[in-house]
Amino acid sequence: MSDSEPDRKRSGFKHRTPVDEARERLHEATSRTVDSTELPLTQADGKFLAEPVTARRNVPHYRRAAMDGYAVRAADTFGASSRSPELLRAADRDADPVAGEAVRVHTGSEVPESCDAVVMIEDVDEVAGEIEVFDAVAEGENVAPVGEDVEAGQALYEPGHRLRPSDLGLLKSLAVDEVAVYDEPTVGVIPTGEELVQHDPQPGEVIETNGLTVSRLVSRWSGRAEYRNVVTDEFESLRAAVQRDLTKDIVVTTGGSSVGERDLIPEVIDELGEVLVHGVGLKPGHPVALGVVEETPVLMLPGYPVACIVNAVQFLRPAMHWVRGTSPPPHPTRQARLDRKIASEPGTRTFARVRTEQEGEELVAEPTRAKGSGVLSSVALADGWVVVPEPREGIPEGETVAVQHWEWSP
């Protein structure tokens, strides 16, 4: 235990590390630990690419008809109109038409070498082996050239890209059967607190929710969580629980991270390894602690449910990317008008929970609760949160704000 710990327990947090600095300290202490593996495309949805992908072939690899109709020489249709159609001879399906001929094609079929355009089926009539063309076409019209979709040698994806169903379809069109993806990071999730039970709480007892929430967030962020049983507030029990999970890529504890008599987990980590940060300038959830033990990052999240979620999003989500060697993408946001002011403390980054509603053409954001990091419904019933930066002392009613939809992103 460090010399400053007893003073901190008596006086609270005298210094709170800024969010960006705390995140950078954790990043510096987090190295890539996950391996990669080859997976078939059918199993790769939602996985993160471990290698760049470059197109090995053209798509399409032949000139193809973009419409049902007739393949022609564009010059043979010049001057065609509904009043004065051009007459062409119908060529055999397998023939390469000569001047003055047209051949029937379907969407996606190969366009004969001698043809440079396709007349749509609705602009022609076929009568007794002759084709009446009622609309002129330009060279290349309704013809998809070789490589229109993807050109051979084209760079498509960089490592760290999360594969979507549309990506898999594109890769399949390139005759790719397998891709190299990062393995899922493993996370040990350890709820702590002698007051926690799984069901039927008595007075003074609380149903454990943080471990469940964090473990499901790990799954949402493409990781594998080991959701452990509750560990009581006892030094040796906490130490054994942390040591057990040092085989994981990341260890997360919930509860016991503040400065009270039963908040022992920072002391445990200080003995086993190093506490990098204890107390961060964010709200709700400033009593978070970040550390490292045997090169394994340890995130000590607060016990209040909303504070736990905020810190999981701010620190666990990026850490899961860092152990892959990738960077976390930004959360999707939407602009909305704030219908009630948000109060915040200067020097602290505030995450204000909001509910959004469409009013005509305008999106309106309503704060669900200004205070209460233990009120889980305030975040569970919200659509996102508004981040109030450290220099600001709140946001006034009527201002346009960015609503961060943190549950929508990986």
Q: For the domain that residue 139 is a member of, what is the CATH number? A: 2.170.190.11
Quote the pLDDT of residue 4.
46
Are 40 and 178 contained in the same domain? yes
Least reliable range by pLDDT among 192-206, 274-288, 301-315: 192-206
**11 has a pLDDT exceeding 70:** no
User: In terms of domains, do 285 and 208 share one?
Assistant: yes
202 assigned to some structural domain: yes
Are 274 and 195 members of one domain?
A: yes
Stretch 49-61: mean pLDDT: 95
Average pLDDT for 204-224: 93
On the question of a cis peptide bond just before residue 165, with omega within 30 degrees of 0, the verdict is: no
User: Pick the residue with more confidence: 407 or 333?
Assistant: 333
Q: How many domains are there within the chain?
A: 4
pLDDT at 262: 83
Look at residue 241 and tell me if it is in a domain: yes
For the residues of 252-277, what is the DSSP string, one character each?
A: EEES--SSSTT--HHHHHHHHSEEEE
Nearest to residue 284, comparing CAs of 265, 261, 310, 303? 310
Q: Which helix (H) or strand (E) holds 182?
A: strand 178-182
222 shares its domain with 313: yes
Same domain membership, residue 176 and residue 40: yes
234 and 107, same structural domain?
no
| Rounded distance between C-alpha atoms, residue 357 and residue 370, angstroms | 18
pLDDT average, residue stretch 277-287: 94
Q: Tell me, yes or no, whether 77 and 132 share the same domain.
A: yes
Residue at a domain's end among 297, 322, 347: 322
Length of the chain: 410
pLDDT at residue 126, rounded to an integer:
87
Task: Convert the pLDDT of each residue in 389-403 to its tens digit.
Answer: 999 999 999 999 999
Weakest mean pLDDT among 18-22, 116-120, 128-132, 357-361: 128-132
Give me the CATH number covering residue 285: 3.40.980.10
Check residues 9 and 260 and name the one with the higher pLDDT. 260
- Of 322, 341, 373, the position where a domain reaches its end is 322
**Do residues 88 and 76 lie in contact, with contact meaning Cβ atoms separated by under 8 Å?**
yes
Does any domain span residue 150? Answer: no
pLDDT of residue 2: 47
Q: Of the candidates 271, 194, 191, 208, which has an alpha carbon nearest to the alpha carbon of residue 239?
A: 271
Tens of pLDDT along 342-354?
A: 999 999 999 999 9
The rounded percent of the chain whose pLDDT value lies above 90 is: 82
In a domain, 338, yes or no: yes
- Distance from C-alpha of 54 to C-alpha of 350, rounded to nearest angstrom: 42
Both tokens of 132, joined, read 């009446």
Q: Are residues 167 and 227 in the same domain?
A: no
Summarised one tens digit per residue, pLDDT across range 310-357 is 999 999 999 999 999 899 999 999 999 999 999 999 999 999 999 999
For residue 74, the enclosing domain spans 64-144
Closest CA relative to residue 34, chosen from 410, 328, 324:
324
Contact 353, 379 (CB under 8 A): yes
Judge whether 151 lies within some domain: no
Percent of the chain surpassing pLDDT 70: 94
328 in a structural domain: no
Same domain, 188 and 315: yes
Instruction: Kindly report the backbone phi and psi dihedral angles of residue 267, in degrees, each rounded to the nearest multiple of 5, phi listed first.
Output: -65, -40
CA-based angle 329:335:336, to the nearest 5?
140
Q: What is the mean pLDDT of residues 210-218?
A: 96
Domain co-membership, 45 together with 87: no
292 in the same domain as 199: yes
Average model confidence (pLDDT) for the chain? 92
Report the alpha-carbon distance of residue 74 to residue 97 in Å, rounded: 12
Residue 7, pLDDT score:
53
List Cβ neighbours of 193 (8 Å cut-off, separation of 6 or more). Answer: 206, 208, 230, 232, 233, 255, 256, 262, 303
CATH code at position 168: 3.90.105.10
Phi, psi of 248 (to 5 degrees): -80, 165
Average pLDDT (20-41) is 95
Same domain, 215 and 310: yes
At 331, the amino acid letter reads H
**Predicted TM-score (pTM) of this structure:** 0.83
Mean pLDDT of 169-189: 96
What CATH code is carried by the domain that includes residue 385? 2.40.340.10
Calculate mean pLDDT across residues 162-184.
96
H or E stretch covering 82: none
299 close to 310: Cβ distance less than 8 angstroms: no
